[in-house]
């Protein structure tokens, strides 16, 4: 505020109007600082931060730290419907996986990899081939984190649309870096600069304008500039320092699974650490199995699968769920015991855990435990959203901060429920209804959806929750 010579409350206001609820004592990240500065007409110079300490992710154990090797990035493509996600996935695959190659036609197993040369080295990128943030967040709702980098496809003839904004919220909530593919630049009506301009409103400022987001103009249909896009993915992957220890027993996540009449349970496993081998004994979610055979994304029988690669596995005793974690074990008895223990735990946690409710939050606030209230706001029209955001801004947020994950007009959808479940958020529906199936999904996932049609009532409840005064409903 000093550097920009504007009041600190002005900064809070600028961000609130952009859908970001921040408090006066909060630290902002660099893209947000740039965003505020741009609004105030000030240019920001950024410096590279000190090399970050090596990250220990859920999948990497302390014992692995000495044996880490680079692994390929795992990429998900997101964006508004018809902006070209499927076309982009197809043309990357076609351009990089030669038809004559072993296995010929690639088969759909939920992921595919491409090989490319980068700085004189053979590198790979793995694409999850169910595009969209719905699949991404459904996985997260189950606790899985599989995506390293999100490609946000925005059609240059259409610009930022509701699902573009949703995809940005979902990727940001998961703290996954975003690369923007400005698609359909072959079209006469294409206005790539307008897309870039629009994206700055959502915290994505292109590098050439002083921001940190890589934006690549492409034509998915003509295959134009795809090599640049792939290069950029590898560049971001390098910064992210994606590592795994290939010399240990595998663990990772189930990305697809189904029952095949002839083969039995078939599951696609994404290896996130270690190497998976035929004959391995594993537990996936609450399912036990011994790997009988593995097929890769090029329909080849393989005997091993390395970190970041996906393989279709036969030999499980049941069908696990997409998003379940899997892990290889030395000992069959131990594995079986764990599988049944997991089944029990899953049942328990479904009953008890992870349920975030406004009254629960109120109780936490009373104990002084609450630091942050995650909200998803769905309302009938944009006007209501602005009115609600304006009023939320008036609520003092010294002790607890309101973090708005998404504010959009429309019904409460399954995707909103997944985002809430994945991020521990409460959903506020204002003058709106549930999309079909969403009420049931909310019950299943234990997501608190509060419906209002009077703004002051909504504010009263939120303020009450933050102050620890909200009475539990009977």
Residues of this chain that interact with ligand GDP (CB under 6 A) are 79, 81-87, 131, 183-184, 186-187, 219-221
Q: Is 183 annotated as a binding residue?
A: yes
- Going through 346-413 in order, the beta strands assigned E by DSSP cover 372-379, 401-409
> CB of 160: closest distance to ligand GDP in angstroms?
14
> CB of 155: closest distance to ligand GDP in angstroms?
7
Q: Is 64 annotated as a binding residue?
A: no
DSSP state letters, 439-461? HHHHHHHT--EEEES-HHHHHHH
Q: Is 81 annotated as a binding residue?
A: yes
Any residues with CB less than 8 A from the CB of 460 and at least 6 apart, and which? none
Q: Which two tokens stand for residue 52?
A: 């970050």
Any residues with CB less than 8 A from the CB of 360 and at least 6 apart, and which? 448
Q: Is 186 annotated as a binding residue?
A: yes
Nearer Cβ to ligand GDP (97/375): 97
- What is each CA distance from 216 to 93, 130, 169, 233, in whole angstroms? 18, 21, 20, 11
DSSP 434: B
DSSP state letters, 300-345? -EESEE-TT-EEEEEEESS---TT-EEEEES-HHHHHHHHHHHHHH
Q: Is 446 annotated as a binding residue?
A: no
> CB of 29: closest distance to ligand GDP in angstroms?
29
Nearer Cβ to ligand GDP (192/429): 192
Q: Is 206 annotated as a binding residue?
A: no
Nearer Cβ to ligand GDP (218/271): 218
Q: What angle do CA 274, 60, 371 make, to 5 degrees?
A: 150
> CB of 211: closest distance to ligand GDP in angstroms?
24
> CB of 84: closest distance to ligand GDP in angstroms?
3
Nearer Cβ to ligand GDP (183/397): 183
> CB of 221: closest distance to ligand GDP in angstroms?
4
Burial class from Cβ neighbours inside 10 Å (0-12, 13-18, 19+) for residue 13 reads: middle
Nearer Cβ to ligand GDP (11/152): 152
d(CA 160, CA 87): 18
Q: Is 185 annotated as a binding residue?
A: yes
Nearer Cβ to ligand GDP (82/212): 82
Q: Is 132 annotated as a binding residue?
A: yes
Nearer Cβ to ligand GDP (187/290): 187
> CB of 81: closest distance to ligand GDP in angstroms?
5
Residues tagged in the binding site annotation for GTP:
79-86, 129-133, 183-186
Residues tagged in the binding site annotation:
79-86, 129-133, 183-186
């Amino acid at each position: 505020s000093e550097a920009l010579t504007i009041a600190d409350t002005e900064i809070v206001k600028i961000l609130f109007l952009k859908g970001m609820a921040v408090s006066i004592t909060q630290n902002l990240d660099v893209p947000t600082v740039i965003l505020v500065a741009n609004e105030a007409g000030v240019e920001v110079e950024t410096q590279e931060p000190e090399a970050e300490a090596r990250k220990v992710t859920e999948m990497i154990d302390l014992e692995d730290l000495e044996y880490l090797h680079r692994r390929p990035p795992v990429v998900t493509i997101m964006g508004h419907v018809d902006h070209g996600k499927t076309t982009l996935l197809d043309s990357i695959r076609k351009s990089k996986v030669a038809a004559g190659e072993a296995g010929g036609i690639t088969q759909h197993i939920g992921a595919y990899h491409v090989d490319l040369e980068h700085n004189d080295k053979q590198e790979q990128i793995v694409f999850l081939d169910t595009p969209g943030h719905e699949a991404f967040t459904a996985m997260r709702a189950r606790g899985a984190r599989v995506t390293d980098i999100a490609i946000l496809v925005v059609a240059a003839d259409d610009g930022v649309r509701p699902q573009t904004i949703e995809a940005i919220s979902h990727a940001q909530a998961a703290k996954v870096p975003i690369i923007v593919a400005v698609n359909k630049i072959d079209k006469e009506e294409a206005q790539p600069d307008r897309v870039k301009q629009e994206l700055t409103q959502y915290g994505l400022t292109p590098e050439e304008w002083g921001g940190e987001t890589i934006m690549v103009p492409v034509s998915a249909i003509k295959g134009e500039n795809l090599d640049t896009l792939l290069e950029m993915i590898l560049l971001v992957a390098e910064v992210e320092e994606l590592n795994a220890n290939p010399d240990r027993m595998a663990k990772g996540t189930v990305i697809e699974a189904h029952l095949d009449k002839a083969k039995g349970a078939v599951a696609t496993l994404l290896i996130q650490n270690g190497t998976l081998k035929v004959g391995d004994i594993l537990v996936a979610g609450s399912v036990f199995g011994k790997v009988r055979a593995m097929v890769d994304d090029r329909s080849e029988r393989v005997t091993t699968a390395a970190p970041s690669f996906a393989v279709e596995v036969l030999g499980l005793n049941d069908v696990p769920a997409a998003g379940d974690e899997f892990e290889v074990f030395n000992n069959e008895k131990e594995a079986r015991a764990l599988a049944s223990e997991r089944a029990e735990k899953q049942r328990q946690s479904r009953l008890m855990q992870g349920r975030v409710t406004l009254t629960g939050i109120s109780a936490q606030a009373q104990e002084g435990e609450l630091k942050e209230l995650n909200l998803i706001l769905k309302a009938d029209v944009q006007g209501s959203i602005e009115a609600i955001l304006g009023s939320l801004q008036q609520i003092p947020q010294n002790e607890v901060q309101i973090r708005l994950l998404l504010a959009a007009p429309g019904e409460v959808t399954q995707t909103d429920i997944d985002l809430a479940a994945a991020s521990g958020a409460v959903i506020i529906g204002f003058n709106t209804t549930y999309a079909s199936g969403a009420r049931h999904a909310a019950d299943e996932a234990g997501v608190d959806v509060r419906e209002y049609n009077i703004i002051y009532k909504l504010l009263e409840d939120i303020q009450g929750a933050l102050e620890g005064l909200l009475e539990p409903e009977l």
